[in-house]
Amino acid sequence: MLRSIEECSVDGIKVESVQLLRRLVGEEIWFPVKPLTSEGLEELRGLRYEDAARESSYGDVVEVLLNHLAVVKDVYAPLLVSVPRSLVDTILAVLRTSLLLVPSSVFATIVPDISLYSHSKVVAAYAASEVLSGVKRYRLFVLDANGIQQFVSAPVKAAAASRVLRGRSLLVELALDSLVHYTLQVFGGLPLANVVVSEGGTVEVIVPDKDVEKAADAVRRVANKLSTRELGHALGFTIAYSKSFDASQGFFLHSLRGKGGFIEVLDSLSQSLAFEKARRGVRGAGVLVDEAGVEGFDSLTGEVIARDQRYKLRVDEADKEYVDAIAGADKLSTGDMVSEATHLSLVAGTLARNLVAIIGVHVYKVDGGVVEPCRECVKSLVDRLSELFCGGRGRLYGRFRLEQRDRGFGLIPFESSGSLYILLSLVDEKLYDPANIEDLRSVWAYIYYVFERGLARALEEVVGERVKVYVEVKLVNATTNFVPSREAAGLVYDGLKKLTQRLLEKGVDVAFNYMLASTYHPVKLDEGGVRLVDLDEYNLIALAKMDCDMVGEVKRLISISPSRLATLSDILNTAIAGKAYLYAVRLARKLGEKEGTLGAIPLYAGGDDVVLYGDWVHVIGLVFDVYKLIRAAVRPLALSIAVTVDRSKTPILELYGRAVALLEDYAKRVKASCVIGDPTPRIVRVDGRELLVYVAPIEMPSKDYPWPNDVASLWGLEALAKLLGYTSEKMEGFREKKTELHILLNIAAEVQKLVEKRGGLKAPLNELLRLEIAYAYIWARRGEELKKLRKLLRVDDVELGKTIPAFPDETREKGSLKEALRSLLAAKPVLDYILLATRILSR
């Protein structure tokens, strides 16, 4: 194929292309061409080519594109000639919604593996860099967050832990966003198109090759201040950049020939990042906080609280009501103290449920080409808005009623990086639905209210000749109608449009965008209204972590061009985040119709991983459901999962650490596998051979799932999730069979000891005979009850119970009692958790 392309042999290319495409048309890897509506995102999955073509609609794409561009034109009409950065960024968001699933036509592309949106973004990044700097060479600039696990999972007490977790996960995202905006400003005001890759805690930006080290030093200084002050040392950032390159190195033929190309650029970036991490680690080693600068220790996380933290919080009688609002009633007592990071986390975590919009305000002082965060401007904005919406006194959270609905308002100030994030939520039992026009109008009315009541005037007072203000209004999970239109904004449209145009004319850059975020959290209704459920209200909790397998290797293969790399990043982020976040809300709404509550919470979804936590039964169900949705969208990528279960008082950091260890040490080594709790052995038969493994399958074996078609492969995550269910209905029958479960599990435990001791069931006759006799004995004594138990062990059309053969009739059919013990060993993890669920239900 490469030779045909280099020789410009049309016939050769055609022959090779046809042969390749013939192999691919039947694979479920094709996305239909359609706009990225919230409904379309939930349904997004890989299809066979014919099915994808049948579902494609370029007409829908064009309609969404033109409708949004018409709205953008209407809002930005007075400034279309000057083309402010906000207009470019808003149009980029429109292109993301309409063109992400549209294939790009580029020279010598064999299959449509490049998104038109992603390719346009890369081209725009090159153009913007050249226009703003005057140079035609570039660097890949990376911002990498370090210590995310320790920062997010810091709570050592179950009280308010859920809010701190949710809040800190959001803080990581906002902190990176703040540093990205500062980086773009330092390089001359680059648009968001220059952010070509955003995965988890890593962001890669195309920047012009001009004064790069000077700019990197400026970003490092700001990142260090943000880390040490607002984030309390726990979360750090590493800044690095690649070797210089030009646009021609993005052409994939260079990489295919092995003559440099974009892969060399990425290699240089990896080396630079590794060097900077090592250097940063050496500089940070042994650094202690000055004792005189320590005011105390955080009551929820145990972290050091420095005296210079402006927004640390000490609980006193005057602030008790405020503290109860953000932490939960009586979660913190008078005299307790929390750090600035925990205070911000509590505010963000409280507002995370039904979060509808985030208004990001970025303020910089620009003097002679030097860009610095305007810290005093952020402080002034916080003081003003706190008085208007939160009651002043340094409070960052407020709640009030507007248009018959309770509203939550929060401030997340990052003075060190010149950013202020305003979080808006709907505080009621009803779950927000961005596809519902009434909900959407309520959100636009809230945004208009915030601007009109005081934010707009405050911004006008801050902006000046040497002070740049950039405002980004992001709607949450609204992939359409994120720019105010007459239909979406309703009665406030005219006012909102005039207000936006007034701000633009006075120098305040206002952009509109959207983001995917976790907006679900279980609640209870009490006398005070809606109350967020916390972890200490559950008997047992679980944390599940799911990762795509071999993404690094796939990125290496696909990074022959920046457009392909950007496409992979955009598709993975959108599919994984959209599936996890939107499905949780839909499932919660469905359970609510039956007066049930979803107890599992998506903590994070993006890049190539998902983290869920909450009630253990619901975590197991939700992680399997989300797995199926994501796998259908990212084929042929496989995923691995680890789930840890423990008491609700167990520190989340401990649960998270165990999940990561199980994932890396067991599941990802086998791939397409999972570990639930402690790794337990199972003997899987493959081509007549017996293999001892310490992982379980995620789903039932099939032509699309690589586990061997063996009886031991049936007892995995799918079986457990479907047998437990989201309600306790299925447990009623199992509760009546607790005695039989106990007996089977006692024998299974003895089998496990033998297998771990001998490395299999090839044990001396006396050891194996003892277990076979025990198995035969319980069937002789309790055969009828065991048969009833087996009938309960049914998943869809698969009668799992029949894999535990009855003695003596079925053991003859299966071959031997030894085979029955092998099946029982495979069933043990599932039966263990079913018995656990029946015990909790009996309390």
Taking the alpha carbons at both ends of the chain, their separation in whole angstroms is 67
Give the list of residues 6+ apart from residue 127 with CB closer than 8 angstroms, or none.
none
Supply the DSSP symbol for 806.
P
Given a contact cutoff of 8 angstroms between Cβ atoms, the answer to whether 645 and 840 are in contact is no
Supply the DSSP symbol for 31.
P
Task: Specify the pTM.
Answer: 0.92
Given a contact cutoff of 8 angstroms between Cβ atoms, the answer to whether 163 and 410 are in contact is no
Say how many CA atoms lie within 13 Å of 161 toward its Cβ. Answer: 24
- pLDDT tens-digit map of 502-516: 999 999 999 999 999
In angstroms, the CA 186 to CA 148 distance is: 25
Rg from Cα positions in the chain: 28
**What pLDDT is recorded for position 234?**
79
Please give the angle made by the CA atoms of 218, 221 and 224, to the nearest 5 degrees: 145
Given a contact cutoff of 8 angstroms between Cβ atoms, the answer to whether 429 and 413 are in contact is no
- What are the C-alpha distances in Å from 730 to residues 796, 834, 843? 13, 10, 16
**What pLDDT is recorded for position 285?**
40
Q: At 763, phi and psi to the nearest 5?
A: -105, 165
- pLDDT tens-digit map of 519-562: 998 888 776 677 788 887 888 999 999 999 988 888 877 777 88
309 is written with which tokens? 């933290």
**What pLDDT is recorded for position 286?**
40
Identify the bridge partners of residue 239 per DSSP, sorted by sequence position.
143
**What pLDDT is recorded for position 284?**
46
Identify the bridge partners of residue 691 per DSSP, sorted by sequence position.
684
In angstroms, the CA 295 to CA 299 distance is: 12
Identify the bridge partners of residue 198 per DSSP, sorted by sequence position.
203
717 is written with which tokens? 């995550």
**What pLDDT is recorded for position 109?**
55
Helix (H, G, I), strand (E, B) or coil at 195: strand
- Where the chain has pLDDT below 50, the residues are 106, 282-288
514 is written with which tokens? 């959207």
Give the list of residues 6+ apart from residue 730 with CB closer than 8 angstroms, or none.
723, 724, 792
Q: At 206, phi and psi to the nearest 5?
A: -80, 120
**Residue 827 C-alpha from the chain's centroid:** 32
In angstroms, the CA 62 to CA 58 distance is: 6
**What pLDDT is recorded for position 287?**
43
In angstroms, the CA 283 to CA 303 distance is: 21
Percent of the chain exceeding pLDDT 90 equals 63
Q: How many residues does the chain have?
A: 843
Helix (H, G, I), strand (E, B) or coil at 436: coil
Alpha-helical (H) ranges within 421-490 are 437-450, 456-462, 486-489
**What pLDDT is recorded for position 10?**
62
Given a contact cutoff of 8 angstroms between Cβ atoms, the answer to whether 299 and 316 are in contact is no
803 is written with which tokens? 């894999």
Instruction: Return the closest-CA partner of residue 299 out of 352, 336, 344, 250.
Output: 336
Q: Sign of torsion, CA 626 630 636 642?
A: negative
**What pLDDT is recorded for position 757?**
87
Between helix 562-593 and helix 262-284 the angle, nearest 10°, is 70
DSSP 121-163: HHHHHHHHHHHHHS-SEEEEEEEEEE-HHHHHT---SSTTHHH
Helix (H, G, I), strand (E, B) or coil at 429: coil
